[in-house]
Amino acid sequence: MADRANLWAWLARVVLWVVPCFALWYYVGRLADPVSGRLAVGFINVVGNGVIETVETGASQLTFVTRLPVGGGGVLTVDADSRIYSYGVPFAMALILAAWPRGIAWRLALVVVTLFPLVAWGVTFDVLGTLVRAAPGWTAAVLGQWGATGVAIGYQFGSLIFPGLVPAAVAVGLSWQKLGR
């Protein structure tokens, strides 16, 4: 992609590809939720001393069932929307499809694979952030002040930086021969 005209042509192709990619992600992306949810449970339980009992996959969100008791004999549950953390994946797919580099299938597959750790990271800190606010006793005993600060920073990265940046960086890296000078 040697000149500016080609860059704009590539951009036009990105805009055209992003619509079907977004539709695909919106209607099919939740199929990845069971895997992302299980990954998140693993991360949360490592940090949170086994606080999550299980995760349930719903039509629009993941529900994490904790071991923390609440009034009335129940346990605390936390909901998280995986889409908030995965919108960058269809964008990255559009970037690759617009560049159409050699070996496009494995490059697209690699981008899709980023969806799992990306969603797991975002959901992990989303859930931990909710637990910090909802269960101060557990927070003090398990995370401590520095742990709670780390959760806040992890949440900010997971919600504001990583969802867009990571898939885009992977896509640009995988298409660099076409996008670069």
Partner 1 sequence: MPLGYDGALFLLDPMVRFLVIFSALLAGLFIAELTPPAQEWVVQPWTNFVAYLSGIIARWIDPNTIVTGATLMDPVSHFGVTIVAGCNGVEATIMLLAAMVAFPASFVAKAVGIVVGTIAVQGLNLVRVVSLYFIGRWSMPAFEFAHLYAWQVLILLDVLIVWLLWLRALPAKKDARG
Binding track over 92-131 against partner 1, x by CB under 8 A: ---x------------------------------------
Q: Minimum distance from CB of 85 to partner 1 (Å)?
A: 10
Q: Which stretch binds partner 1 (CB under 8 A): 48-56, 103-111, 115-123, 166-174?
A: 166-174
Contacts of 146 (CB under 8 A, 6+ apart): none
Q: At what angle do helices 33-47 and 104-134 cross, to 10 degrees?
A: 50
Would you count residue 84 as binding partner 1 (CB under 8 A)?
A: yes
What is 25-80 written as a DSSP string?
Answer: HHHHGGGGHHHHHHHHHHHHHHHTTS-EEEEEE-SS-EEEEEEEE-GGG-EEEEEE
Of positions 9, 11, 12, 70, contacts partner 1 by CB under 8 A: 11
Of positions 20, 58, 161, 177, contacts partner 1 by CB under 8 A: 161
Of positions 121, 163, 170, 175, contacts partner 1 by CB under 8 A: 163
Q: Distance (Å, rounded) from C-alpha 163 to C-alpha 141? A: 31
Q: Toward partner 1, which CB reaches closer, 14 or 44?
A: 14
Q: Distance (Å, rounded) from C-alpha 89 to C-alpha 21? A: 9
Of positions 17, 64, 91, 138, contacts partner 1 by CB under 8 A: 91
Distance set, CA 141 to CA 29, 48, 49, 65, 100 (Å): 36, 10, 10, 19, 52
Q: Which residues of 85-102 are buried (b: 16+ CB within 10 A; e: fewer)?
A: bbbbbbbbbbbbbbbeee
Q: Which stretch binds partner 1 (CB under 8 A): 30-38, 83-91, 102-110, 139-147?
A: 83-91
Q: What residue ranges bind partner 1 (CB under 8 A)? A: 3-4, 7, 11, 14, 18, 22, 26, 83-84, 87-88, 90-91, 95, 152-153, 156-157, 159-161, 163-165, 168, 172-173, 176, 179-181
